[in-house]
A and B are shown apart, each in its own frame.
Chain A
Amino acid sequence: MLRRARLMGLFLVAAALLAASCGGQSGPKPSSSSSNPPSSSSSSASGSSNSSSASGGTVTLGVITSITGSQAAFGQAHQRGYEIALEEINAKGGVLGKKIVLDYCDDTSKPDQAVQCVSKLVDQDHVPLVLGSYSSESTYAIVSVMTQKQVPLIIPTATADNVMQSGSPWIFRICAGSGDYARTMVDFLKHNGDPKTMAIIYENTNFGQSNDKSMRQAAAAAGIQVIDEEAYNAGSPDYKAMLQKVKAKHPDAIYFASYLLDAVTLMHQARQVDLNAKYFTAAGTGFSAAEFPTPDKGAGKDAEYTFSVNQWLPDASWPGSKEFDQKFFQKYGSHPAYHAMEAYAALYAAVAGIEKAGSLDPAKIQEALHQIDIQTAFGPVHFGASGQNPHPVLISQVQKGQYMTVWPADAASAKPIYPTPPWSQR
Chain B
Amino acid sequence: MVVLQTVLNGLLTGGLYALIGIGMALVFGVMRIVNFAHGALIMVGMYAAYFAFTLLGLSPYLGWILSALLLFALGWLLYRGLIRPVMGQSDFMQILLTTGVWLALVDLAQLLFGADYRQINLGIANAVVRLGPLRVSSGYLLSFFAAAVVIGLVYAFLYRTELGRDVRAVAQNREVAPLMGIDVERVSAVAFALGAACAGAGGALLLPLFYLYPTVGDPLLLRSFVMVVLGGMGSVEGAALGGLVLGVAESLTGYFWTDSYSQVVDFLLFLAILLVRPSGLLGRQRA
Q: Which of A70, A272, A300 touches B117 (beta carbons < 8 Å)? A: A70
Asked whether A20 lies within 8 Å of B210 as measured between CB atoms, the reply is: no
Encode B102-134 as 1/0 by CB contact (under 8 A) with A. 111001101100111101010000101000000
Within 8 A of B (CB), among A239-280: 239-242, 244-245, 247-248, 261, 264, 268-269, 271-274
Give the CA-CA distance A244 to B134 in the complex, in Å: 12
Does A108 sit at the interface, judged by CB under 8 A?
A: yes
Asked whether B126 lies within 8 Å of A268 as measured between CB atoms, the reply is: yes
Partner-contacting stretch, out of A92-100, A133-141, A155-163, A227-235: A227-235
Given contact pairs A241-B6, A268-B126, A272-B137, A68 touches B211 in the complex (Cβ within 8 A): no
Contacts of A4 in B (CB 8 A): 85
Give the CA-CA distance A148 to B128 in the complex, in Å: 53
Residue of B nearest to A113 (CB): B115
Does A359 sit at the interface, judged by CB under 8 A?
A: no
Does A210 sit at the interface, judged by CB under 8 A?
A: no
Within 8 A of A (CB), among B219-236: 219
Encode A215-243 as 1/0 by CB contact (under 8 A) with B. 00000000000000011110111111110
Given contact pairs A19-B104, A23-B110, A245-B254, A232 touches B259 in the complex (Cβ within 8 A): yes
CB of B219 to closest CB in A, whole Å: 6
Give the CA-CA distance A261 to B137 in the complex, in Å: 18
Asked whether B111 lies within 8 Å of A244 as measured between CB atoms, the reply is: no
CB of B155 to closest CB in A, whole Å: 26
Q: Which of B97, B115, B216, B258 touches A242 (beta carbons < 8 Å)? A: B258
Encode B271-283 as 1/0 by CB contact (under 8 A) with A. 0000000000000
Give the CA-CA distance A19 to B209 in the complex, in Å: 29
Interface-centre pick from A2, A15, A236 (highest chain B CB count, 10 A): A236
Asked whether A297 lies within 8 Å of B121 as measured between CB atoms, the reply is: yes
Does A412 sit at the interface, judged by CB under 8 A?
A: no
Does A191 sit at the interface, judged by CB under 8 A?
A: no
Give the CA-CA distance A68 to B82 in the complex, in Å: 32
Contacts of B101 in A (CB 8 A): 12
Within 8 A of A (CB), among B75-105: 82, 85-86, 89, 93, 96-97, 99-104
Interface-centre pick from A108, A239, A268, A272 (highest chain B CB count, 10 A): A272
Give the CA-CA distance A296 to B137 in the complex, in Å: 19
Asked whether B259 lies within 8 Å of A230 as measured between CB atoms, the reply is: yes
Does B59 sit at the interface, judged by CB under 8 A?
A: no
Does B145 sit at the interface, judged by CB under 8 A?
A: no
Does A72 sit at the interface, judged by CB under 8 A?
A: yes
Does B135 sit at the interface, judged by CB under 8 A?
A: yes
Give the CA-CA distance A247 to B3 in the complex, in Å: 12
Q: Which of A10, A16, A109, A239 touches B115 (beta carbons < 8 Å)? A: A109
Does B188 sit at the interface, judged by CB under 8 A?
A: no
Encode A2-20 as 1/0 by CB contact (under 8 A) with B. 1011101111110111011
Give the CA-CA distance A11 to B107 in the complex, in Å: 15
Asked whether A8 lies within 8 Å of B255 as measured between CB atoms, the reply is: no
Residue of B nearest to A4 (CB): B85
Contacts of A264 in B (CB 8 A): 119
Does B251 sit at the interface, judged by CB under 8 A?
A: yes
Given contact pairs A5-B85, A204-B260, A12 touches B97 in the complex (Cβ within 8 A): yes
Interface-centre pick from A1, A12, A241 (highest chain B CB count, 10 A): A241
Encode A343-367 as 1/0 by CB contact (under 8 A) with B. 0000000000000000000000000
Q: Which of A15, A204, A237, A274 touches B100 (beta carbons < 8 Å)? A: A15
Within 8 A of A (CB), among B4-36: 5-6, 9-10, 13
Does B167 sit at the interface, judged by CB under 8 A?
A: no
Asked whether B211 lies within 8 Å of A235 as measured between CB atoms, the reply is: yes
Contacts of A269 in B (CB 8 A): 137
Number of A-B contacts (CB under 8 A): 145
Contacts of A231 in B (CB 8 A): 258-260
Given contact pairs A4-B85, A238-B209, A68 touches B258 in the complex (Cβ within 8 A): no
Given contact pairs A241-B6, A245-B254, A1 touches B85 in the complex (Cβ within 8 A): yes
Asked whether B253 lies within 8 Å of A241 as measured between CB atoms, the reply is: yes
Does B2 sit at the interface, judged by CB under 8 A?
A: yes
Contacts of B107 in A (CB 8 A): 16, 19-20, 23
Contacts of A232 in B (CB 8 A): 258-260
Give the CA-CA distance A241 to B259 in the complex, in Å: 8
Asked whether B119 lies within 8 Å of A261 as measured between CB atoms, the reply is: yes
Q: Which of B99, B117, B210, B254 touches A69 (beta carbons < 8 Å)? A: B117
Encode B242-279 as 1/0 by CB contact (under 8 A) with A. 00000000111111101110010000000000000000
Does B213 sit at the interface, judged by CB under 8 A?
A: yes
Q: Which of A8, A10, A296 touches B85 (beta carbons < 8 Å)? A: A8
Give the CA-CA distance A378 to B121 in the complex, in Å: 33
Residue of A nearest to B5 (CB): A244
Give the CA-CA distance A264 to B250 in the complex, in Å: 22
Give the CA-CA distance A248 to B99 in the complex, in Å: 44
Asked whether B115 lies within 8 Å of A240 as measured between CB atoms, the reply is: no
Asked whether B126 lies within 8 Å of A236 as measured between CB atoms, the reply is: no
Residue of B nearest to A232 (CB): B259
Q: Which of B93, B114, B255 touches A241 (beta carbons < 8 Å)? A: B255
Does A295 sit at the interface, judged by CB under 8 A?
A: yes
Give the CA-CA distance A204 to B85 in the complex, in Å: 44
CB of B204 to closest CB in A, whole Å: 17
Residue of B nearest to A6 (CB): B93
Contacts of A268 in B (CB 8 A): 126
Asked whether B115 lies within 8 Å of A69 as measured between CB atoms, the reply is: yes
Give the CA-CA distance A357 to B128 in the complex, in Å: 60
Closest 10 CB pairs of A and B: A241-B254, A12-B100, A16-B103, A5-B85, A19-B107, A68-B115, A13-B100, A232-B259, A242-B259, A9-B97
Name 26 A/B residue pairs within 8 A (Cβ), A-sorted. A6-B89, A9-B86, A9-B97, A11-B100, A12-B100, A12-B101, A12-B104, A16-B99, A19-B104, A70-B213, A72-B114, A230-B258, A236-B210, A238-B13, A238-B209, A240-B251, A240-B254, A241-B6, A241-B252, A242-B254, A242-B255, A242-B258, A244-B255, A271-B128, A273-B5, A274-B135
8 more A-B residue pairs beyond the given contacts A236-B210, A238-B9, with a C-beta to C-beta distance below 8 A: A6-B86, A13-B96, A231-B259, A232-B258, A237-B210, A241-B251, A247-B2, A271-B126
